[in-house]
């Protein structure tokens, strides 16, 4: 049953992508961190209209079928979609611009200088800090700067509360 649901979701994404591309061509303006972040909470069709078809789609299984998500990969950024709504956006290691003032490759100290002391600190089982979390009240979202083994930002993610 979950396989059928995943197939239906993928087909829905492809059809929605085709419809969005037929309706309008995505803007060729530079994509910024703000445009990506502000896409959270938006509808799937708007994502396709604004950014075009993703380079790759992957299913992310949840604990139950209604918690399954689809990851839409656009290369240096991406979105996690559930029920045709963007839930989370990601900035990956190829992202070259700023992300709310920080950059991929920044140290933990650099992140604190720009964003302040984190209200949330995520650690692995060995006590190594793997992420700093911040509540973004202006967007009703949460932001996480994820660190690699050297303490450098390798990914940033924004999600709706």
Q: Domain limits of the chain?
A: 2-91, 108-160
Task: Please check the confidence at residue 26 and state whether its pLDDT lies above 70.
Answer: no
Is residue 28 very low, low, confident or very high in pLDDT (cuts 50, 70, 90)? low
Cα separation, 13 vs 57, in Å, equals 9
Asked whether the predicted pLDDT for residue 23 surpasses 90, the reply is no
pTM of the model: 0.79
């Amino acid at each position: 049953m979950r396989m059928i649901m995943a197939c239906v979701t993928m087909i829905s994404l492809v059809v929605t992508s085709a419809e969005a591309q037929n309706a309008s061509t995505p803007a060729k303006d530079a994509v910024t961190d703000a445009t990506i972040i502000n896409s959270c909470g938006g509808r799937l069709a708007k994502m396709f209209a604004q950014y075009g078809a993703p380079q790759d789609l992957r299913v992310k299984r949840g604990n139950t079928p209604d918690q399954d998500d689809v990851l839409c990969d656009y290369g240096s950024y991406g979105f996690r979609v559930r029920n045709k709504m963007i839930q989370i956006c990601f900035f990956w290691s190829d992202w070259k611009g700023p992300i709310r003032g920080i950059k991929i490759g920044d140290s933990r100290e650099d992140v604190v200088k720009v964003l302040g002391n984190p209200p949330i600190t995520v650690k692995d089982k060995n006590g190594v800090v793997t992420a700093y979390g911040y509540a973004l009240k202006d967007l009703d979202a949460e932001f996480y700067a994820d660190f690699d083994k050297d303490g450098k930002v390798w990914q940033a993610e924004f999600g709706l509360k």
